[in-house]
Chains A and B, each alone.
Chain A
């Protein structure tokens, strides 16, 4: 053994343990879930009483809620980041502390507040839209963060060149800064989608755990992540472990596809 490499060997062993741990987790989910992952499972409705059966409404709910939330929060997050980075903003430090604190806020705290405000004060029902509101509150600080990082990645020289050519600050933002950071923005958007698709705590209290056939924006509905929690802890079907695992495999494939797609689009934009 080469002298003075003992700690590097220790690190390699720790690496192996960590990799084995993750292989165990992902492997056991795949092992338990793959046999149940059939076309019928993906395309049919769950049983209202036991929670077993298909996951079609959960797939739809996940897509609709994540999509709607991103459509709302992506421009809002970009706007805040642009204003903080590109204009001389007062209270920029306060905004940054608030952003960082909200970013690490437990999502159940967001759920608690959204429940009080939307359900308690505004009399919204526990529903998909209330869930979207909770997701929007969770995602806004995240979008501000990833957009801020993307803007930081644009070389200062680009801005100066544009301003020196007589462009206004807004023209510089629109024609130079945002196009130059677009690839990173798209990748950030993909990360946000992955993060939202995996969200469960806030949605359990704001969007409910309903598995009935009635679908509406004002009706309760669960996402894939909530469904995993629901059938594994409250479900009554016999094969609930396998059904939860199959839902988990679906969710992880969905997340992987979203991340891969956003990466591909970002590559193409570069």
Chain B
């Protein structure tokens, strides 16, 4: 009895909420499995699924073009954003005053909150016409999506990189300088190495954000379902194809089951990234 007046009830409620959270989260994945089963249960589902041809009218549900699209766009964004973000982080970490650093963190945090449709709007306004002018074709392309996505994940990368550089003890830098290392040598051989877990963690968070982005990519990638032939040809990613085809295939159809499978692939990718971040990026 005494236990109830001292928070036994509260504890029970908190435990129940945590349990509901677990059930809801696992239920989300279970609902995807339930939807995907209609297709996965068919004979030769996998060979159909991992074909490179998407033509639902002819019963061809190859999702390879979208996997390729997702990987290429994400990699393209990384190649552009990671060096820029490292530059931002290194420059900010050089700042001497705490006020400057505090301001930088606030500014980067605000920039991570800029909605993805804003980046999509800018992509349509500037990037797509630029690609069209430079290489011809429609302009809607994997390249345009990569550029837009690179700028979108740049604040996230910069923030994580900056914070992990800040966590490197000042004594390590001073020790390196005392041994006669130049600032560059200290940066490469001491600061980056000591900050590696944090940098890795930031990298994986940024990859997850890029892989899961939908609207900014959907607006500029063109939505072509064939396997893209080059960086400047239009394509589609797993996320953009889900939003494009959700209106085409209502729940219960085979096409919708394939969308569920694509969502499951994305969730699996996110889970792998989370586990990798735990293994390589544990910041302690």
Q: Give me the interface of A with B, judged by CB distance under 8 Å.
A: 2-8, 10-15, 17-19, 21-22, 24-26, 28-29, 32, 76, 79-80, 82-84, 87, 89, 91, 94-95, 97-102, 104-113, 115-117, 119-120, 137, 140-141, 144, 168-171, 173-174, 191, 194-195, 197-201, 204-205, 225-226, 228-229, 232-233, 241, 244-245, 248, 251-252, 255-256, 259, 263
Contact = CB atoms under 8 A, between A and B. Distances in A.
Interface stretch (B57-65, B166-174, B267-275): B267-275
A17 B151 CA distance: 11
Interface stretch (B6-14, B48-56, B131-139, B228-236): B6-14
Contact of B22 (A28, A98, A117, A191): A98
B184 A107 contact: no
Contact of B118 (A101, A106, A140, A252): A252
A18 B87 contact: yes
A110 to B, nearest CB: 7
A107 B80 CA distance: 24
B31 A113 contact: yes
Contacts of A137: 24, 28
B124 interface: yes
Contact of B212 (A5, A104, A112, A263): A104
B158 interface: yes
Contacts of B219: 229, 232-233
A259 B86 CA distance: 26
A198 B270 contact: no
A129 B51 CA distance: 39
B253 to A, nearest CB: 12
A70 to B, nearest CB: 15
B240 to A, nearest CB: 9
16 contacts: A3-B182, A4-B182, A5-B182, A13-B87, A15-B90, A21-B84, A79-B14, A91-B22, A105-B28, A112-B32, A140-B24, A170-B6, A198-B116, A225-B115, A233-B219, A248-B115
B145 interface: no
B25 interface: yes
B40 interface: no
Contact of B121 (A2, A11, A248): A248
Given A11-B94, A113-B31, 20 more contacts: A12-B87, A14-B87, A15-B87, A18-B84, A22-B151, A76-B17, A79-B18, A80-B14, A80-B17, A91-B22, A95-B18, A102-B28, A109-B239, A111-B243, A140-B24, A170-B7, A198-B117, A248-B117, A248-B121, A259-B110
Contact of B21 (A21, A140, A229, A251): A140
Contacts of A17: 84, 87
Nearest to B83: A14
B17 A101 contact: no
A12 B182 CA distance: 17
Interface residues of B, number: 84
Nearest to B263: A109
B196 to A, nearest CB: 17
Across the A-B interface, give the 4 residue pairs with the lowest CB-CB distance, nearest first: A4-B182, A170-B7, A14-B87, A198-B115
A219 to B, nearest CB: 19
Nearest to A259: B110
A101 B273 CA distance: 8
A32 B118 CA distance: 12
A14 B213 CA distance: 24
Contact of A28 (B6, B31, B120, B126): B126
Contacts of B211: 106
A108 B277 CA distance: 23
B151 A21 contact: yes
Contacts of B45: none
B205 interface: yes
Nearest to A3: B182
Contacts of B86: 11, 14
A251 B183 contact: no
Given A91-B22, A112-B263, A195 B113 contact: yes
Contacts of B24: 137, 140
Given A83-B15, A108-B239, A25 B84 contact: no
B73 interface: no
B88 interface: yes
Contacts of B88: 11, 14-15, 18-19
Given A7-B184, A25-B151, A29-B118, A82 B266 contact: no
Contacts of B84: 14-15, 17-18, 21
Contact of A106 (B122, B182, B213): B213
B154 A28 contact: no
A4 B90 contact: no
A163 B116 CA distance: 46
A232 B14 CA distance: 44
Interface in B109-164: 109-111, 113-122, 124-126, 151, 154, 158
Given A229-B219, A232-B121, A11 B91 contact: yes
